[in-house]
């Protein structure tokens, strides 16, 4: 059954009696410049968790959804590189370097898949049964345009069709 918008769960798990369990929190700092969205589209900013090997620290950063490979001449390639097939991500030229050196996690509390069998297409909201947040596997890349502007973009890793999602899409995001 399609859902118009999933409710935003609390970042703390509840025990069934409405009591929160502080051991199950997901520490997401407030982002005043990045509003909560029920439907993030390619080219919009998404929160990503990245690891810096030099400082050994993780950071929460807003990156553009759409990876621009470092060798690309045109940033419009980002519209075609929003999802990386997990089965070929280590071999595909657009993702190979990012897969080796620049992986990230993309936190979410749900996502939409679109069923194309009906007209108009139907959105199906997918979330954890208990409403807790989870993360998508992702890749990120830096790209410098000719005017010396630095762009940071990311892509979601997707697995080929799984029986759970077989009626709605050919692939699903890799989640943890």
Domain that holds residue 49: 43-173
pLDDT-above-90 percentage for the chain: 31
Domain count, the chain: 1
2, part of any domain:
no
18-48 confidence digits (pLDDT tens):
444 444 454 555 555 667 777 888 899 998 9
62, part of any domain:
yes
CATH no. for residue 166?
3.90.1680.10
Alpha helix stretches (DSSP H) within the chain: 96-101
91, part of any domain:
yes
Q: Is the pTM of this model over 0.75?
A: no
24, part of any domain:
no
Q: Which two tokens stand for residue 39?
A: 């439907």
67, part of any domain:
yes
pLDDT value at residue 3: 34
- Residue 138: how many CB atoms within 10 A of its CB? 26
Q: How far apart are CA 60 and CA 47, in angstroms?
A: 6
147, part of any domain:
yes
146, part of any domain:
yes
35, part of any domain:
no
Closest listed residue to residue 110, CA positions, set 34, 5, 27, 22: 5
135-144 confidence digits (pLDDT tens):
999 999 999 8
């Amino acid at each position: 059954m399609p859902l118009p918008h999933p409710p935003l769960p609390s970042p703390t798990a509840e025990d069934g009696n409405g009591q929160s369990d502080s051991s199950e929190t997901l520490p997401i700092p407030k982002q005043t410049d990045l509003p909560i969205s029920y439907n993030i589209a390619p080219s919009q900013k998404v929160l990503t968790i990245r690891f810096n090997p030099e400082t050994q620290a993780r950071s929460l950063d807003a990156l553009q959804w759409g990876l621009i490979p470092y060798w690309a001449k045109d940033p419009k390639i980002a519209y075609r590189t929003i999802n990386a097939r997990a089965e070929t991500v280590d071999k595909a030229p657009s993702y190979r370097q990012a897969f080796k050196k620049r992986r990230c996690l993309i936190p979410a509390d749900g996502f939409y898949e679109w069923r194309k069998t009906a007209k108009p297409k139907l959105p199906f909201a997918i979330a954890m049964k208990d409403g807790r947040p989870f993360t998508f596997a992702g890749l990120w890349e830096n790209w410098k345009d000719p005017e010396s502007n630095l762009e940071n973009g990311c892509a979601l890793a997707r697995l080929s069709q799984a029986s759970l999602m077989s009626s709605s899409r050919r692939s699903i995001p890799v989640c943890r």
